[in-house]
Amino acid sequence: MTTDRPYVAYLASSDPARPQAGRINDEEADRSEKAVLTAYLSHLTARGHRVLRHRVLRHRVVTDPDLTSTDLFDATAGEVVMACHRTHYRALVAAYGVISDCERLFSPARRVLLLTAEPGPVAREFLSHHRIIAIWPEGDTFVRVDPAAEGSGP
């Protein structure tokens, strides 16, 4: 089944669409991602953005039950956002796959990886090379690094 428009699916923790491919169940990661997503959602809505998001961590914006899912879609900015607790290579590769697959369904859209903390230089280079915007919390606001600003995109 495919559809042109996203819809909200309510997924149980044991559903194969959750956790994301390549990611084991990790309560700490889930809590951190939920906290940063909630804060970022508040940040966006306070600025008047229209955002699609699940209400509870296990609910995801998806397009097809058999496909991957993303955490939110900022309809105002045209950005597909996925939260990621870890920035080691395997986590970045898995996030890249998921967010790239979701991006095509919200076309045109930019890809955003919402991190729980500032990424290191290797993670920043990876994200910039793959034209993924990095956002993380810093105090009461969010830092945003656009891949074009990094200058290392393809």
- Count how many Cα atoms sit within 13 Å of the Cα of residue 96 in the half-sphere of its side chain: 16
Say what the pLDDT of residue 3 is. 45
* pLDDT more than 70, % of the chain: 67
* Contact of 116 with 39, CB cutoff 8 Å: no
Asked, as a colleague might, if the bond just before 19 is cis with ω within 30 of 0, I would say yes
Pick the closest to residue 36 from 23, 49, 53, 48 (CA basis).
Answer: 53
Average pLDDT in the chain: 75
Summarize the confidence of residues 46-56 as an average pLDDT.
73
**pLDDT tens digits, 117-153:** 999 999 999 999 999 999 999 999 999 999 865 444 4
Q: Is the Cβ–Cβ distance between 114 and 105 less than 8 Å?
A: no
Rounded average pLDDT over 73-87: 89
